[in-house]
Every structure is written in structure tokens, then in C-alpha cells.
Amino acid sequence: MWLTTKQRVDGVERVCRVIGLVLIGAGLFHLAVFAVDGGPWQGPVSWRKPITFGLSFGMTLLTVVWLSAYLPLSRRRRGWLLGIFAVDCCAEVAGITVQAWRHVPSHLNRETGFDSAVSTVLAVGGGVLVVVLGLLVRAAFRARVAPSMRLALRAGFVSLLIGLISGAAMIARGVVTVNGGDQQRGYEVAGFLKPVHALGLHGVLVLPALAWLLSRTGWDETRRTRTVAVAVAVYGAAVAAAAAYSLV
């Protein structure tokens, strides 16, 4: 029996939600591993990476599935974008996790053929994420929803894109340093935009969630939009301050 486009997209959404929950569960599992096994929190070899990647990618995937319903996308295109995004999230978290259990760095690691392959997959996956999120940002600027949610969607997806681009910039800087012959220095300089990366990634959850919560109040749309605008300004200032701090 042939499935309709709606049925296929609904199926993709359900799978994406399950994957998002599994990724969050993986992050929490590795938090427990860290509590038992210990070790450093910082550095290229740490349980921090599967913890933060699992939690961040899981929450981001669930958020993107939720917000994609507000975007002016055809069912087919929405299904493809969500599917690609979910597969990429899995690849990124899996690569990080495998290397954490092998007790070797994940990014910038060219020590063996396997390490080099994992590092390449992670880098390519980051590029795919930027492309997919770029398409979602474009759609967010054409969304026909209440002004407060429209502002939150635009700012949230732009924030997420900034988070991904800052991550790509960190990898690029590390690659240049490693290719210059200093592997250890590459690990040290690659994290120079971590505050921007962390803040940027989660704006897509914080701002639309605020707009959604405000829509459940008795406030009129003008007041809700002003409140979201203030939140966007504050969040943007925080990202800018993080960037200034990182680049000083």
C-alpha cells in the first residue's frame, strides 16, 4: 500500500522525535559514566563531549521538528530536511561517542586512518548542518504566523546558524594549526568560540519557547511582540558579548 506524502512526513517526524530522545538519553548516560569513571571535563579527550553533544543535538532536533510546522515548507521538502538533519545529528553524536570510548580526540585527529575518517565525517556533517539550517532560516523569514512567534522564529534560527558557523570556524582554525605541524596546539586553539557556539545553538529553543508561552497568556499580540523583542535584544547582546570575550 502506497503511503501519502502526509503519512510519510508524519512518519519522519515520529522517527525524528524518537531519535532526539535517544540522543538526549545518550547524553545522560555518559553523564553517569563521567560520574563513575571521572577524568577531566575539559580537553580533547573527555566524557564532556558525548554528554554535551548528545544533549545539545537531541534538544535541537526535537526543537527543529516542532518549529518546522510553523515554516512555509511543502510536506515533501519538510520531510527531506528533517530526515537529513536527523541523520546528520546521529552521525555527529556517533562519531564523538565512538572516539570518546576509544579515549582519543574526535575532531582534528589524523593519527590513524580510522581517526582521520571520523574527523572528516564530523567536518562534512557540520557543513551539511549549515546548509540545512540555512534553508530553514530562509523559510523562517517567510513564515506567516503571529508577529511575536515570527520574530522568535527568525531570531532563533539565525542564532542557531550563528552557533553552527562558529563551530565550523573553530574546526577550521584547528585544522589550519594542525596542518601547520602542531597537533596539540590545534586542540588548544580550536575552542576559542565555545561561548558563542553554546549560546547560539540554543537560541532556537529559548526564543520560540518564550513566544509560545506568551501566547498562552492573556496579553495582547502587541505586548507579546514587545516582550519577545526585548528577549531577542538581550539574547543577541549575550551572543555579541560572548563573541567579544572570545576574540579579545
Per-residue pLDDT of the chain (248 residues; tens, 9 = 90+): 455 656 666 788 999 999 999 999 999 999 999 999 988 888 888 999 999 999 999 999 999 999 999 999 988 899 999 999 999 999 999 999 999 999 998 887 888 889 889 988 988 888 898 899 899 999 999 999 999 999 999 999 999 989 888 888 888 887 777 777 666 766 666 677 888 988 998 999 999 999 999 999 999 999 999 999 999 999 999 999 998 887 77
**Residue extents of the structural domains in the chain:** 1-115, 145-248
* CA angle 143–144–150, rounded 5-degree value: 60
> What is the DSSP-derived secondary structure letter of residue 3?
P
Q: Which residues contact 177 (CB under 8 A, 6 or more apart)?
A: 185, 186, 189, 190
pLDDT confidence of residue 212: 96
R_g over Cα of the chain: 19
By C-alpha distance, which of 125, 63, 47, 134 is closest to 89? 125
pLDDT confidence of residue 2: 52
pLDDT confidence of residue 1: 47
pLDDT confidence of residue 41: 86
pLDDT confidence of residue 6: 63
pLDDT confidence of residue 175: 76
pLDDT confidence of residue 182: 67
Cβ atoms of 26 and 97 within 8 Å: the answer is yes
By C-alpha distance, which of 101, 227, 62 is closest to 155? 227
- Calculate the CA dihedral of residues 138, 139, 142, 148 and round it to 10 degrees: -100
